[in-house]
Amino acid sequence: MLGFNDYLLVSVILFFVGALGVLFRRNLIYILMSLELMLNSINLTLIGLAKYSNDTNPQVLILLILVVAAVEVAVGLGLAINLMRVKKTVDVDLFKSLKG
Amino acid sequence: MKTVFYINALFSLIFALGVIFGKNPLRSALSLLLFFLTIALDFFFAGSEYLGFVQIIVYAGGIIVMIAFVIILLGLKKESPDYDITVRSFTGIILLGFFALGVLYGLAKSVLHLIPKAPYFDTSAAGIGDALFSKYLLPFEVASILLLVGVVLAFIFAKKEV
């Protein structure tokens, strides 16, 4: 029988894969894609919770997470376009203007 | 059911690894698309068709297209591996490992069977809409404002001069 723990295990693993991508890649586009991986693993947890507790509330939360993910990727890609125009690169290690 | 779920999970893991270890950005974006489809399949398995279709429409139809357009627009080429293994990210990995151990320990000691079960499972679009427009009206409106702010912000960021 498929329980909530199975959903949790899979989404923890996927979350770590996404976090690895955020930590190790230097390309801004890859970092954005890894963030999407992490948000989707959260969605997987919530759908497991919804199924397990027979509840509607986690599904509403999934819709709200979807909105946040869409806004995040739109703003992030706009930023990437502007950085490419100004600095000619999307390598996040080269953006040091704000470093104290 | 469990076998099918884990086979699907294996595919999501493969596609997720394909995203973060890929060298060609466009190919990574396609791998991300397949990852989103496996997650949508998970939604279907859980009996929530509405969210599965929303997932496909928003992620596969919206976000992936946006990412692919930006990759093409910026002309990102296949690049040499750019893994950044510094002291900082090494520390991050170790902390992540501890976090993973904590989560798995919590999983082993789980008390989640104490969660009360609702009498029936309303996964229809009507049920979600009911909750969204009565109990969750304020978060819904906040989300719409967030979308508006996001649109304006993305426009300002992508303009010629900031």
* Chain A nearest C-alpha distance from B17 (Å): 7
pLDDT of res. B114: 67
Residue A2 or residue A10, greater confidence: A10
Q: Does B37 touch chain A (CB under 8 A)?
A: no
Using a pLDDT cut of 90, give the percent of chain B over it: 38
Residue B116 or residue B14, greater confidence: B14
Residue B37 or residue B106, greater confidence: B37
pLDDT band (50, 70, 90) for residue A71: very high
With a cut of 60, say whether residue B162 has pLDDT above it.
no
Residue B135 lies in a domain: no
pLDDT of res. B121: 66
pLDDT, one tens digit per residue, over B67-120 is 999 999 888 776 655 666 677 777 878 888 888 788 777 777 776 666 677 666
What are the sequence ranges of the domains in chain A?
4-88
Residue B159 lies in a domain: no
Give the residue numbers spanning the domain of B70: 2-123
Put residue B78 in one of left, alpha, beta given phi > 0 → left and psi -120 to 50 → alpha: beta
pLDDT of res. B111: 67
Contact status, residue A48 vs residue A11, Cβ threshold 8 Å: yes
pLDDT band (50, 70, 90) for residue B21: confident
Q: Which residues of A76-95 are buried (b: 16+ CB within 10 A; e: fewer)?
A: bbbbbbbbbeeeeebbeeee
Q: Which residues of B touch A51 (CB under 8 A)?
A: 46-48, 121
pLDDT band (50, 70, 90) for residue A56: confident
With a cut of 80, say whether residue A44 has pLDDT above it.
yes
Average pLDDT, rounded, for chain B: 84
Of the candidates B12, B32, B51, the beta carbon closest to that of A36 is on B32
pLDDT of res. B95: 84
Q: Which residues of A touch B6 (CB under 8 A)?
A: 6, 10
Residue B148 lies in a domain: no
Q: Does A50 touch chain B (CB under 8 A)?
A: yes
Number of domains in chain B: 1
What CATH number should be reported for the domain holding residue B15?
1.20.120.1200
**What's the sign of the alpha-carbon dihedral B101, B102, B107, B109?**
positive
Instruction: Give the Cβ contact number of residue B7 at 10 Å.
Output: 10
Residue B88 lies in a domain: yes
Size of interface A-B (CB pairs under 8 A): 219
Q: Does B151 touch chain A (CB under 8 A)?
A: yes
Q: Which residues of B touch A60 (CB under 8 A)?
A: 128, 131-132, 135-136, 139
With a cut of 80, say whether residue A84 has pLDDT above it.
yes
Tokens found for residue B123? 């996964």
With a cut of 90, say whether residue B146 has pLDDT above it.
yes
User: What is the CATH architecture assignment of A4-88?
Assistant: Orthogonal Bundle (1.10)
Tell me how far apart the alpha carbons of residues A39 and B65 are, in angstroms, rounded to a whole number. 18
With a cut of 80, say whether residue B134 has pLDDT above it.
yes
Residue B111 or residue B128, greater confidence: B128
Residue B147 lies in a domain: no
With a cut of 70, say whether residue B44 has pLDDT above it.
yes
Q: Does A74 touch chain B (CB under 8 A)?
A: yes
pLDDT, one tens digit per residue, over A28-43 is 899 999 999 999 999 9
